[in-house]
Amino acid sequence: MTSVSSSATAVASERSGSTSTSTAVDDGEMEKIKEEEEDGDGEEGGESDVDAVANSFGVLKVDAETEKTMYIGDSHWHLVLADIAEVRNYFTNHKRELDNQYKKVNETSAARWIADFIFQGLAPATEAELRAGLPPRAKIEKLIARFFNSLDPFVQMLHHKTFHERLEAFFADPKSQSLAWIGLLYATLTLAMLSYSKVGDEPPEWKGRTNELAAEYRGRTVQSLATSDYTRPNVYTVETLVLYVHAEYSSRLDVDFGLYLVVGTVVQVAMRMGYHRDASQFTSVSPYEAEMRRRVWLIIRQIDIIFSAQLTLPNLIKSCDCDTQLPRNIFNDDFSTSSTSIPPARPPTEATPMSSILAEGRLVLMLGAIIEETQSVSGPHASYDTIMKWDARIRAARMTMEPHLRFRSLEDSALDPSSLILQRFYIEVLHQKTICVLHRRFIARARTNPRYTYSRRASVDAAMALLRIQATLHREAQPGGRISEVMWRLTALQKHDFLLGAMIVSLDLNHDRGGGAHTFWTAEQRADMLSSLETAMAIWEGDQAASMDSYKGAKVLKIMVDKLKAQQNEVNQEVDEAMHPAHSMRR
């Protein structure tokens, strides 16, 4: 019997407080898979099933009434349950209700900023107006200090010493800094102001106005980019664009296609400026500039892969088109604009502000490579042996993670700062999501072909791990919780992964009704899975008024939980009748 218990997942059980590891393929199982691939070419042993999985189409939605067309890849959480009649009927019968809810959620200033950026819908501003719109020096200094002390990984795109030197030069002579740098300044002010409203520690002078001021500075950022002509980028353009995107998705519970278009602009501008090529090959770029460009490019790669995966669209950046190296695990104080060389990376055991960025970056790049290789529309399809090799790499990456970033239970993190705890959770979410993405397509095949049993077990285990993480984060984000003051850093990009986990568990339970001789999960495992789905449903219901994904997720989970409970009642009744036939006859 296979396992979906906490001992088989990467998430420690909060009840036991023990740390555990994900399902791992052993040498015997890998050898068995290789033998099956070498020996057979039929339904049981060959690649026909793999080809069928690789040829999955997704959905092209064409609405004749609105004349809108939308493609959704088959890895999107919307499509995981597309074959469930009750789910399909709900979306068919409640189209008007869904449209009305979408309009309610979409009527926000955040949604309008995207259109303003893409089509330059904001009223143009002159350079003089943009310079005059900055707050007084004391307030700028307060906000900049807030930005650099926020522990936001995006802060590492800017070298604090260099930025402060330019800030001092600006205060001494405002015209000494270009309009592009003014745009960068506005972007940092935006993020600092947003953090006040999200954390809930607004200072008296901005009490009740931080969202309004953040929106103002965000608009000024867009105007600065437009007035300085970001289509002819200079040294600060890419950083400003990236921080603008960060401010946008930090301000919303859903990620929409408009923001993805801005990500495309970021990628195109960055490639135009050569960020995709490692600067060490070009003598015109200083060692300092080369290292900072590596940091920026790594963040751009992560944004591209995560956004593309969420929308189930191909990555904008292909690995074969870039050779920029990873940045080094060093402190900002280890190098400066005058450095003639960059010092060697500090050992992984030494924590620096770059440690978590590098750990997350390696995982996201691995996710991107997996998507490129296993979900290509044309070209050779990855064999199941390749899938299992990727599985081994993912698990090896987790085992070799920097010691201070390895996942552990809250009980084992009692003395750790909340920011470090959240970093560990985020890295663990990435790990479990990657396992889900790698194996999910083989779950259905595993129900009829034991060759793919490992994929079914691995994917559902990872999905359950995601649901446990979601429950823990939700509980600890409440007032007085361990991560309540840093939970604002969790964005719609991470929350989407929890929906994927819920859909995977729901679908597998629906196909494994229990009670029979060939049931895949034990009664205890099924109860744990159903309980996790109920918890997830309650969490999504709490956010559904402000998030379309939460609204849809809550509705779908309600349908599935009710359906699964009804199935369980039927099974219980059948078992009862089998055990007490006389009692059944009297009824």
pLDDT digits (tens, 9 = 90+) for 465-493: 999 999 999 999 888 888 887 877 776 66
Residue 21 has pLDDT above 60, yes or no: no
| 67 or 193, higher pLDDT | 193
Structure tokens at 508: 């597998």
Strands 68-72, 59-63: pairing is: antiparallel
Q: In the prediction, which pLDDT does 92 show? A: 80
Average pLDDT over residues 71-84: 74
Task: Give, in order, the Cα–Cα distances in Å from 278 to each of 236, 271, 318, 319, 353.
Answer: 18, 11, 15, 13, 22
Residue 337 has pLDDT above 80, yes or no: yes
Q: In the prediction, which pLDDT does 22 show? A: 41
What does the alpha-carbon distance between residue 504 and residue 281 come to, in Å, rounded to a whole number?
45
Instruction: Dump pLDDT digits (tens) for 3-13.
Output: 443 333 333 33
Crossing angle of helices 418-439 and 453-476, rounded to 10°: 150
Residue 316 has pLDDT above 90, yes or no: yes
Residue with tokens 């006389």: 582
Q: In the prediction, which pLDDT does 57 show? A: 62
Q: Where are the domains of the chain?
A: 407-574
Average pLDDT over residues 269-284: 95
Q: In the prediction, which pLDDT does 45 show? A: 46
Lowest mean pLDDT among 63-77, 425-439, 515-529, 546-560: 63-77
| 40 or 524, higher pLDDT | 524
Q: In the prediction, which pLDDT does 52 show? A: 54
Residue 580 has pLDDT above 80, yes or no: no
Instruction: Dump pLDDT digits (tens) for 120-170.
Output: 667 889 999 999 999 999 999 999 999 999 888 999 999 999 999 999 999
Residue 583 has pLDDT above 90, yes or no: no
What does the alpha-carbon distance between residue 279 and residue 269 come to, in Å, rounded to a whole number?
16
pLDDT-derived band of residue 93, with 50, 70 and 90 as boundaries?
A: confident
Structure tokens at 415: 């003395």
What does the alpha-carbon distance between residue 326 and residue 323 come to, in Å, rounded to a whole number?
9
Average pLDDT over residues 210-237: 94
What does the alpha-carbon distance between residue 178 and residue 582 come to, in Å, rounded to a whole number?
88
> In which element (H, E) is residue 60 found?
strand 59-63
Q: In the prediction, which pLDDT does 308 show? A: 92
Amino acid at 444: A
Residue (of 401, 402, 425) closest to 413 by Cα position: 425
Q: For 406, left (φ over 0), alpha (ψ -120 to 50), or beta?
A: beta
Q: In the prediction, which pLDDT does 364 show? A: 97
pLDDT-derived band of residue 113, with 50, 70 and 90 as boundaries?
A: low
Question: Do residues 568 and 526 make contact, with C-beta atoms less than 8 angstroms apart?
Answer: yes
Q: In the prediction, which pLDDT does 137 show? A: 98
pLDDT-derived band of residue 116, with 50, 70 and 90 as boundaries?
A: low
How far, in whole angstroms, is CA 16 from its chain's centroid?
A: 28
Residue 228 has pLDDT above 50, yes or no: yes
What does the alpha-carbon distance between residue 184 and residue 444 come to, in Å, rounded to a whole number?
49
Residue 25 has pLDDT above 50, yes or no: no
Query: Above pLDDT 70, what percent of the chain?
Result: 84
Amino acid at 575: V
Residue (of 365, 235, 221) closest to 304 by Cα position: 365
What does the alpha-carbon distance between residue 283 and residue 299 come to, in Å, rounded to a whole number?
24
| DSSP letter string, 75-126 | TSHHHHTTT-HHHHHHHHHTHHHHHHHHHHHH-SHHHHHHHHHHHT-SPP--
Instruction: Dump pLDDT digits (tens) for 399-450.
Output: 999 999 999 999 999 899 998 999 999 999 999 999 999 999 899 899 889 9
User: CA 33, 38, 44: angle at the middle one, nearest 5?
Assistant: 65
Radius of gyration of the chain (CA): 25
What does the alpha-carbon distance between residue 100 and residue 143 come to, in Å, rounded to a whole number?
38
Q: In the prediction, which pLDDT does 377 show? A: 79
Cα atoms in the Cβ-side hemisphere of radius 13 Å centred on 61:
14
Question: Do residues 487 and 477 make contact, with C-beta atoms less than 8 angstroms apart?
Answer: yes
Question: Do residues 259 and 253 make contact, with C-beta atoms less than 8 angstroms apart?
Answer: no
How high does pLDDT run on average in the chain? 85
